[in-house]
Structure 1
Amino acid sequence: MAQETPGAAEIRAAIAENSKMRERDLAERLGIAEAQLVAARVGHSATRIAAHPDRLIPAAEALGEVMALTRNASCVHEKVGCYSNYRSGEHAAMVLAEEIDLRIFPAWWVSAFAVEKQTAGGIRRSLQVFDAAGEAVHKIHLRPASDLAAWERIKAALALEAQSDALEVAARKPAEAPKTRPEKREILFEEWARLTDTHQFLRLCAKLKMNRLGAYRMPGNPFVRPLPPGAVDEMFTGLRDSGIDFMFFVGNRGCIQIHSGPVKRLQETGPWLNILDPGFDMHLRRNHIAEVYAVEKPTRRGTALSVEAFDAEGTVIFQAFPVSKETNDSRPQWREIVAGLETRATEAAE
């Protein structure tokens, strides 16, 4: 028998009784989407606001210093900084600020809320965006230095006329299964060798009716080296010990968030591997990692080498690349780190 969806009053009571539990975990316990949990607080400690990034992101620029959070089921990516340099786009938009670097896909920005949560340390304020299934896409958390007057202006300017505490959500779309076309093997490798930009790769996969993981799994792929899940720990340890900068991409269908910089402090907490650095926190569920690959893609500036991790459903958990700057080219050291990672045993490969 299907579990009956609790009403807004029941949800608010559960929130009060479990005030220290993370919203995502409480929503799962209640059998609802996280957005429904937040919506139940509308009229109490949440306000429905416009979700489209063309309205929300420029408004957020006025807040000053905030913490940007983007996550998927296996990894949380948190960056402290200021929103600026927003570039709109019908299908893809960007934030290209010094600290906050985002790739935004507006079609997935379906509902949003301005949330005020009372805690022992005071009121925590955040802007929270969700997709049609009620899964979190992006969150903006205010910090002590944030502009509270701007916060009040945002609530007033972006508030929707309809302020219901109930939210209908669509069924979650399952992850796309790996798609491999063995008969296109030679074409894939020939055209892969001719890439001049990493962004061309997904277009190539689409043309051949494959996807990222399907192409990586292609037997005999000269551009891909399968790694065991434990190589992820080795990679982060190598980054910390070398002190080089890297680029770390974490996202979901609606937003990808990028960190560019070094790794300084690593900490293990049960299944979690954490980076706890000034301005950048990362929390990775290592027990969710099912497949890892070292991947090479030709570009005009040379070969781009990445390490990419996937969960058991075939969803990308993260991608790691080197940072290349005229005054700080970390590519040789990055290649040395990746070359030192163990190759997954042949018999374990697909």
Structure 2
Amino acid sequence: MPSLNERYADLMQAGPVRVRDAAQRLNTTEAALVAAGVTGPATPLKPEWGALFAAMPRLGGIMCLTRNEHAVHERHGRFVDVSSGPGHILVLGPDIDLRLFPGRWAHAYALGGDRPSIQIFDKDGNAVHKVFATGETDTAGWDAVIAEFAAPAAALPPMTAAEPAAPATETPVDQAKLREEWKALQDTHDFITLLRRHKASRRQAFRLAGEDLALRLPSAAAVATLQRAASAEVPIMVFVGNRGAIQIHTGPVARLRATPGWFNVLDPAFNLHLREAGVAEAWRVVKPTADGDVTSIELLDATGETIAMMFGARKPGQPEREDWRAVVADVSGTPWPAERAA
């Protein structure tokens, strides 16, 4: 039977294929392909996640990439403020802004070649987060970090792709109670706790909350929001994540380009690639906070998983931007402020 490397080489005969797509076509995992060296020399790294990310400021300028099936988020900058605690790692710098959940991680590799990178994979061999060297990278710092965390005897990743997880079964939710507690929120971060308390999926909560809190929009609202924000020069926050990492851009978006199947932001420090066909639902979502209502445009795929979320740029303690509210009102076709019913 041909080896994985041979099968990959045969696949490439017909033309270049991204390693993520090659893994799907070969019924293997991206981590297995990386470990096999098909994308270049790969050095296994110790799964000492907190220490590894604490060392990231030594790398200098880099590019971070986090993606899911329908969105790719790329941000240039430097690691500045890195901290970790039970079940999480936070990166809170002005450019690199991450919420990481290493309990789902299992494998990491440093890739050499023309485009050096550090790539992290979950227990199923799916890519969670990647850090790429750039022209601003401290080469000596990069080499020192790789040498410090190299683990030649690391366990191999799974060779066979896991079956996709079935969407969680929705259970009955007390709609009135959900709405009451939603309206009493004091912080956007409390929304996840609200969902857990009611054992509700995000999509289920949106459908039950009432249109003043969650208004269903056409899927085209995803692109329209980026276009309105760019034309009005409104700085926004763009969240893209998966089950192991969330990456955030805060700032303007300017250079927008459509390519077959994708809508793209191609700014110098921030790139976003959005697979338009993957957006099954778009919602205007209003979350009360101690600083006033905070509004987002949230994109879900056909299984109800979050593809991306967009907010107006803001810091805790600040009210929401009026120019962002104008963008949302334009995209949703509803004036702001919305009258929220009892």
TM-score (norm 2): 0.90
CA–CA distance in 1 between the matches of 2:95 and 2:14? 34
Q: CA deviation at 1:239?
A: 0.3
Of residues 104, 109, 112, the one that matches 1:108 is 104
Deviation readout 1:106-131 (Å, 9 max, x if unpaired): 112210000123xxxxx210000000
One of 59, 76, 82 as aligned partner of 2:72? 76
C-alpha distance after superposition, 1:135-181 (max 9, x if no partner): 11000000122122222222221111415766456725526447363
1:229 aligns with 2:219: yes
Kindly report which structure 2 residues correspond to 1:54-73, keeping only aligned pairs within 5 A, or say none.
Answer: 54-73=50-69
Give the structure 1 partner of residue 277 of structure 2: 287
1:10 is matched with 6
Report if the CA contact (8 A) 1:226-1:343 is conserved.
Answer: no
Tell me the CA shift for residue 232 of structure 1.
1.4
Task: Note if contact 1:180-1:215 (Cα within 8 Å) is conserved in structure 2.
Answer: no
> What is the alpha-carbon distance in structure 2 between the residues aligned to residue 29 and residue 75 of structure 1?
20
Q: Which segment is superposed worse, 278-287 or 59-68?
A: 59-68
Aligned runs of 1:70-219 on 2, under 5 Å? 70-117=66-113, 123-162=114-153, 167-168=158-159, 171-172=162-163, 174=165, 176-177=167-168, 179=170, 181-182=172-173, 184-218=174-208
Q: Which amino acid aligns with 2:231?
A: D
Residues 287 and 27 (structure 1), Cα distance of their counterparts in 2 relative to 1, 3 Å cut: same
Q: Partners in 2 of 1:131 and 1:272 — Cα distance?
A: 26
212-221 or 269-278, larger mean C-alpha shift: 212-221
CA distance in 1, matches of 2:39, 2:154: 7
Answer whether contact 1:248 1:321 (CA < 8 A) is retained: yes
| Equivalent residue for 2:235, pick from 239, 245, 263 | 245
User: Percent identity, aligned pairs only?
Assistant: 39
CA distance in 1, matches of 2:204, 2:290: 25
Which runs of 5 or more structure 2 residues have no equivalent in the other structure? 335-342
Structure 1 residues 166, 330: CA separation in 2 closer, same or farther (over 3 Å shift)?
A: closer
Q: Does 1:261 align with 2:245?
A: no
Partner Cα distance (2:54, 2:170) in 1 = 38
3-state secondary structure, aligned to 2:323: helix
Q: Distance in 2 between the 1:54 and 1:156 partners?
A: 17
Report the residue type matching 2:26 in the other structure.
Answer: L
- Which residue number in structure 2 is paired with residue 120 of structure 1? none
Given residue 307 of structure 2, which amino acid in structure 1 is its aligned partner? Answer: I
TM-score, normalising length: structure 1:
0.88
Unmatched 5+ stretches in structure 1: 118-122, 345-350
